[in-house]
Amino acid sequence: MIKAIALENVWLNFSDETKAAFKKNKAYQFQFKKEEELTESDFMETEVLVGLPKPDLLAKYKNLKWLQLLSAGTNGYTQGANFPQEVVLTNATGTYGLTISEHLLTMAFVLLRKFDLYQKQQEKEIWENIGQIQSIYGSTVLVHGLGDIGSHFAQKIQALGGHVIAVKRTVYGDEEFADEVYAETDLDKVLPRADIIASSVPGTHETYKLFNQEKFDLMKENAIFLNVGRGTNVDLEALCDALESKKIAGAGIDVTDPEPLPKGHRAWHTERLLITPHASGGYTLPETWRRFMKILKKNLDAYANGKELTNIVDMKTGYKRNAHK
């Protein structure tokens, strides 16, 4: 039997029935443990690991062949030099597109219709029409990253009458839900056209502080900037400067650098900056968990039968192998 361990950040979401079903799988000897409860025999014998283990502990697993992450993001594993070369890494791409795209859309509506300003007025008991607003209908929306999240968001934008410009690593010509498609190298060329910029790309060496003062200077004064990728992709000080100087109209971020965002940071009090605490994904939406379980079960069956796994990560890029993003 294949020894497999699901770490606490996975099995906390399991019902008793789900745990029982996994334990009945004849191909696997499944255990559910907290990382601090792992024994020397666990490190010696475990072949399959499911969850978000501490990257610096991976070297202790002497028989590990496959790590299934709970997240779509992989930068904590792919950017370190110590990830075991013999271990196959798979992520949870396909799990979060629905919930995170809805989070993006909510942030966009709040900022376009100035609900953030009306909320402040309500707190002060002020009854006053703030004035002109914007609509997604007829707007140009730059979708930065056309993976699972970006594709879901682009589809929703098109349904609402927006014009989608997609910017991605590689252009293949068969991209769905995009009216125009450009390579990453063309980002500066299309930024000045966008009313909304929504970025969902992972954190890599290439995307580190990609959105800096120069990028914000290229944006329209009415532009809305949204980021649900990684906090390291944005120069937060430059974003605060752009908002305070009104170079852009508003921003919504679900990720920050540093993270958690420290108390006292200027971003907390920057006007027209919406901040959520890395809450766009996770498993607060039941459908998200169902989608992850579908991927996990498919991969467990594939591994037990010697077939190729879904969502294998390219360790050089941090993306799912052969992903059209």
Can you state the angle between helices 148-159 and 97-112, rounded to 10 degrees?
Answer: 50
Same-domain pairing of 131 and 231: yes
Average pLDDT for the chain? 95
The CA distance from 68 to 2, in Å, is 15
Please report, for the domain that includes residue 78, its CATH number.
3.40.50.720
Same-domain pairing of 21 and 145: no
Which residues are catalytically annotated?
A: 230, 259, 278
Average pLDDT over residues 119-126: 98
Q: What is the pLDDT of residues 45-58, one digit of tens each?
A: 999 999 999 999 99
Q: In the chain, what are the helix, strand and coil shares in percent, each to the nearest 5?
A: 35, 20, 45
Q: What is the pLDDT of residues 125-167, one digit of tens each?
A: 999 999 999 999 999 999 999 999 999 999 999 999 999 999 9
Banded model confidence at residue 81, pLDDT cuts 50, 70, 90: low
Same-domain pairing of 57 and 154: no
Same-domain pairing of 117 and 191: yes
Assess if residue 43 is contained within a domain: yes
Contact between residue 181 and residue 175 where contact means Cβ atoms under 8 Å apart: yes
On whether the pTM is more than 0.85, the answer is yes
- Specify the number of domains making up the chain: 2
Same-domain pairing of 69 and 195: no
**In which residue are the tokens 């852009």 written?**
248
DSSP state of 309: P
Same-domain pairing of 26 and 164: no
Question: Which pLDDT score is estimated for 325?
Answer: 47
The CA distance from 32 to 50, in Å, is 10
Average pLDDT over residues 303-308: 98
Assess if residue 205 is contained within a domain: yes
Can you state the angle between helices 97-112 and 286-304, rounded to 10 degrees?
Answer: 150
The CA distance from 120 to 66, in Å, is 49
Assess if residue 229 is contained within a domain: yes
Range of 19's domain? 2-95+285-304
Banded model confidence at residue 10, pLDDT cuts 50, 70, 90: confident
Q: Does residue 217 register a pLDDT over 80?
A: yes
Q: What is the pLDDT of residues 235-276, one digit of tens each?
A: 999 999 999 999 999 999 999 999 999 999 999 999 999 999
Banded model confidence at residue 322, pLDDT cuts 50, 70, 90: low
Average pLDDT over residues 42-46: 98
